[in-house]
Structure 1
Amino acid sequence: MNSIVACGPCELDRLHVTVLESDIPRAARLLSILRSLGIHQLSVVSGLQDLSLQLSQTQVDVLVTEIRPASNDGLMLPSALKMHYGSACSLQSPRILWLAEPLLPFTELVEQHTAPRPRRTSPPTRGEGISVKALDAHAQLACAAGFIATTLYSFNAQAVCDAMHALFAMPKIANRPLHARNDVPSEDDVIIALATGEGLRVVFQPQHDLRTGEIIAAEALVRWRHPEYGDISPVVLIPLVNKLGLHLLLFSFVKARVLEVLCSLQSMQMEIPISVNASVDTLCTVGFSARLGDRMMRAGLPNHLLKIELTEDIPVMDELCLSAALNALKIRGFGVSLDDFGSGSATLRQIARMPFDEVKIDGALIRDLDTKPTARRVIATTLALARRLNMTVVAEGIETESCRILLRRLGCTNGQGFVLSRPMEVSDFLSKLTAQRQSSVPPMPFSSAPDVVRDI
């Protein structure tokens, strides 16, 4: 049987629906409701292992499951489906109808990928052992991962019928793996570019004092223009570099350009710290800090002008090695920063255990400031924690003026993003700093915002 892309009032009988429920009375209640809608191809599985076996034997159009404190299978359903279907998950996976008990505190999802939802009659205010925000975030992650899912808060037949139609109002879209494209450079292209420097350049993303607008630091970013494919995103380049084990070569290329800029600034009697991204493999290379210190000494530059940002593109497998590497850098006067905090492997565990001077809040979390109160609370907590640990905080990805104002109200003083400055070529960066220094008038402050820390 082929999956239905959209079903009308008379097409529910074409659906194969499986109920994931270990409690027999609950399963019976759900089956009764589904039969009343004219759905006759019904089955029940009691757990995820039984579900995997059935999916191997039968095509299922919709999975119906409850989420409640006594059962976790509903929460694990997207992960189980992804494991079962692999890369074809978005096309082959059944649609998901999550049911919430009347006392379970779900909130309406506003994620654009979520299908239209039935109206809730009397929204609950308290839950039974499961966090409202955790469930809300889990549902959004499922939709963002490509699943077609909706949640329902009423167990009557009409609500279930409406939810079924809502599920099939959205077509399935195939995943398009990045490396399946024909316009991705080959590994040989990456090797040649790093060996010769052809097409590679470094741009500089200014970091600003959010109170005055003054440039106080910068981050060095690599850019690659391929002769055939044009500009290649770092999202493509960096994984290829790591796969080939060329991370040290890339770091050396960026570092050399940064030292040239630092020397130029020094000749103009300006000191602006510049940070360079480095993976955990780069930092844990034997003798890394000693060689870096020697290179700075030969350039006649103080070590504090070069900051090393630990990226999250490679997971930390040896915390003891990373701790030693970071401490070795700090002993020599280099600043160490944790990049992309709030995503990937950049976690509270690393902040607690590692000797970072600075934490950079991931841009995705910053962009949620305008719309999600939970993001504001997370950022406010991060700022408070950083103050207690004597760490600087830099907000990344500031793209709107309203976001900048909210950050100031939360007490964040340093940031970078398109609303402040876009990444600049070397000449533009130096000209901007020269103009800032030579201006007889102090830098114009941004629109005022109270310098208070509060949970908004």
Structure 2
Amino acid sequence: MPKSEAGATRRILLVEDHPVERAYLQNMLLALGYRRVAGLGSSIEAVGALTRQYYDVLISDIVMGEGDGTRLPNDLRRLVDAGRLKSMPPIIWISSLSEELLQSHVRLALQAGCPSAQALAKPVSRGAMQQAIKVALHSMDGDTASPHQPKAVRRDLMEAALGQALVSGKGLSVVLQPQISLSTGRVVAAEALSRWTHQDWGAVPPADFVPAAHRLGLDRMLFSRVTDSVLDVLSQMQSEDIAVPIAINASASTLCSRDLPGMLEQRVGQAGLPARLLKVELTEDEPVTDWLALSSTLNLLRVRGFELAMDDFGAGIASMRLFSAMPFTELKIDRDFILHMHREAASRAVVAAAIEMGRVLGRRVVAEGVEQERDVQLLRELGCDVAQGYGISVPLDPAAFIAFCRSR
């Protein structure tokens, strides 16, 4: 049971259209020590309430008469993007729907940007509710943060500070997540992930500052900063006789720049490195608006010796068209399918199909989001040999990454 003072300060928004069930859940939350619980009967009311008041946790039914709960995550995402909501709260779904549909709604909320999402089957037990709220609160502010304040920084302030950081390079860095061969255990590649630490706010999540760079039209500048850092790491590794390709994430708009292939070739040449050590990884965080420009750039990069990876394969509706039309050398299976492949036949089928397609086309296949030993075992059975994820290694700073490569 939460400490009385903590329960008294947390704000919980409960959305349930059935008045009897709503009253039952409100009494349960009260018994658990949560004193500030607002009960509403529709997602429409919930959206309005969240624009007026910050809530630590959102608990919502899914199927409701007025305003379907399914729309909540996307409605809240739009409010955040419009600057009307500081941050999205964690969501706890409550419903009598099947487990498959519950987990589908969990993924929906996470994809929209909720810091955490869980699903509880009705009837909800007191113990399950207590644990779910504990997980939700931890995802927002841990055990020591203020219960009143969301972690999100005002968007206008963050964007101004980000612009300054990208110009100066101050506070920007990269970490590297290893990719290993599941058959040999050796490090075969890595993905560079950008990080930004502000002097007052601390570490700003990439989920916040990367989209901000796109809104500001600074994708290319961020890509350039990460490229500089990666080339420094590759040069150091070459001096130690370690040759491991490193991938840099790039949006479609960045890759539509006509001068990008020449710029990368020049910078790799100046560093005395072969082009094959620098991999360009296309992300699906924005739609492709100019297929001809993208195809032209990707083909030029391949001609000049760079390898190309397609990130989050299967997550976007354009995945198949992109992969079949563009000269990728690698596809990365979206982590969501890896996470659910053990209990969802559909996810497992997608993983198996992606691995087989890579084999037939002669492309390398990388499984993302590998977190458990059972993931490794199943991927081996399905024929996938390269993986990355927290079950293999957390993202490492350059020195730790080089040491990790030496140990392998």
| TM-score of the pair, normalised by structure 2 | 0.68
- AA aligned to 1:409 is E
Report 1:419-430 matches (<5 A). 419-430=391-402
Kindly tell me: are residues 335 and 367 of structure 1, through their superposed partners in 2, closer, same or farther at Cα, counting changes over 3 Å? same
Shift of 1:140: 5.0
Q: Distance in 2 between matches of 1:10 and 1:196?
A: 55
Aligned to 1:280: 252
Listed one character per residue, the Cα deviations across residues 363-419 of structure 1 (whole Å, up to 9, x for unaligned) are: 121111232232111100111111111111001111111111111111000011111
Q: Which SS does the other structure have where 1:7 is aligned? A: helix
Kindly tell me: are residues 229 and 84 of structure 1, through their superposed partners in 2, closer, same or farther at Cα, counting changes over 3 Å? closer
The answer to whether the aligner puts 1:249 opposite 2:225 as a matched pair is no
Q: Distance in 2 between matches of 1:275 and 1:314?
A: 19
Aligned to 2:327: 355
The answer to whether the aligner puts 1:7 opposite 2:24 as a matched pair is no
Matched-pair contact (CA < 8 Å) for 1:220–1:277: yes
Kindly tell me: are residues 190 and 62 of structure 1, through their superposed partners in 2, closer, same or farther at Cα, counting changes over 3 Å? closer
- AA aligned to 1:327 is N
Aligned to 2:39: none
Q: Which SS does the other structure have where 1:250 is aligned? A: helix
Q: Distance in 1 between matches of 2:373 and 2:329?
A: 27
Q: Percent same amino acid at aligned positions?
A: 37
Matched-pair contact (CA < 8 Å) for 2:310–2:331: yes
Aligned to 1:299: 271
Listed one character per residue, the Cα deviations across residues 113-164 of structure 1 (whole Å, up to 9, x for unaligned) are: 35136xxxxxxxxxxxxxxxxx9866754566579x999xxxxxxxxxxx9x
Aligned to 1:370: 342
The answer to whether the aligner puts 1:113 opposite 2:76 as a matched pair is no
Q: Which SS does the other structure have where 1:421 is aligned? A: coil
- AA aligned to 2:238 is Q
Kindly tell me: are residues 136 and 382 of structure 1, through their superposed partners in 2, closer, same or farther at Cα, counting changes over 3 Å? farther
Structure 1 residue runs without a partner (length 5+): 12-51, 53-60, 66-75, 89-110, 118-134, 152-162, 174-179, 437-456
- AA aligned to 1:7 is V
Q: Distance in 2 between matches of 1:79 and 1:233?
A: 26
Aligned to 2:55: none
Aligned to 1:131: none
Shift of 1:64: 6.6
Matched-pair contact (CA < 8 Å) for 1:340–1:346: no
Kindly tell me: are residues 435 and 247 of structure 1, through their superposed partners in 2, closer, same or farther at Cα, counting changes over 3 Å? same
Aligned to 1:215: 187
The answer to whether the aligner puts 1:263 opposite 2:219 as a matched pair is no
Shift of 1:77: 7.0
The answer to whether the aligner puts 1:200 opposite 2:172 as a matched pair is yes
Aligned to 2:287: 315
Deviates more, 1:187-196 or 1:343-352: 343-352
Q: Which SS does the other structure have where 1:422 is aligned? A: coil
Q: Which has the higher helix share?
A: 2
- AA aligned to 1:357 is T
Kindly tell me: are residues 362 and 8 of structure 1, through their superposed partners in 2, closer, same or farther at Cα, counting changes over 3 Å? closer
Q: Distance in 1 between matches of 2:21 and 2:249?
A: 54
Shift of 1:298: 1.5
Listed one character per residue, the Cα deviations across residues 314-347 of structure 1 (whole Å, up to 9, x for unaligned) are: 1111111111111010000100110111213551
The answer to whether the aligner puts 1:189 opposite 2:161 as a matched pair is yes
Q: Distance in 1 between matches of 2:23 and 2:264?
A: 71
- AA aligned to 1:183 is V
Listed one character per residue, the Cα deviations across residues 266-324 of structure 1 (whole Å, up to 9, x for unaligned) are: 11222111111111111111211011111111111111111000011111111111111
- AA aligned to 1:271 is A
Taking only aligned residues, the RMSD between alpha carbons, in angstroms, comes to 4.0
Kindly tell me: are residues 144 and 217 of structure 1, through their superposed partners in 2, closer, same or farther at Cα, counting changes over 3 Å? closer
Q: Which SS does the other structure have where 2:195 is aligned? A: strand
Kindly tell me: are residues 269 and 62 of structure 1, through their superposed partners in 2, closer, same or farther at Cα, counting changes over 3 Å? closer
Kindly tell me: are residues 421 and 327 of structure 1, through their superposed partners in 2, closer, same or farther at Cα, counting changes over 3 Å? same
Kindly tell me: are residues 210 and 320 of structure 1, through their superposed partners in 2, closer, same or farther at Cα, counting changes over 3 Å? same
The structure number with the bigger radius of gyration is: 1
The answer to whether the aligner puts 1:330 opposite 2:302 as a matched pair is yes
| TM-score of the pair, normalised by structure 1 | 0.61
Kindly tell me: are residues 63 and 259 of structure 1, through their superposed partners in 2, closer, same or farther at Cα, counting changes over 3 Å? closer
Kindly tell me: are residues 140 and 329 of structure 1, through their superposed partners in 2, closer, same or farther at Cα, counting changes over 3 Å? same
Q: Distance in 2 between matches of 1:10 and 1:229?
A: 39
Kindly tell me: are residues 78 and 114 of structure 1, through their superposed partners in 2, closer, same or farther at Cα, counting changes over 3 Å? closer
- AA aligned to 2:20 is C
Q: Distance in 1 between matches of 2:160 and 2:347?
A: 42
Aligned to 2:356: 384
Q: Distance in 2 between matches of 1:390 and 1:305?
A: 19
Listed one character per residue, the Cα deviations across residues 41-74 of structure 1 (whole Å, up to 9, x for unaligned) are: xxxxxxxxxxx9xxxxxxxx98679xxxxxxxxx
Aligned to 2:386: 414
Structure 2 residue runs without a partner (length 5+): 1-14, 25-43, 45-61, 80-90, 110-116, 134-149
Matched-pair contact (CA < 8 Å) for 1:339–1:346: no
Deviates more, 1:184-193 or 1:402-411: 184-193
Aligned to 1:228: 200
Kindly tell me: are residues 297 and 4 of structure 1, through their superposed partners in 2, closer, same or farther at Cα, counting changes over 3 Å? closer
Q: How many residues align?
A: 321
Report 1:431-450 matches (<5 A). 431-436=403-408
Aligned to 1:154: none
Kindly tell me: are residues 140 and 418 of structure 1, through their superposed partners in 2, closer, same or farther at Cα, counting changes over 3 Å? closer
Q: Which SS does the other structure have where 2:177 is aligned? A: strand
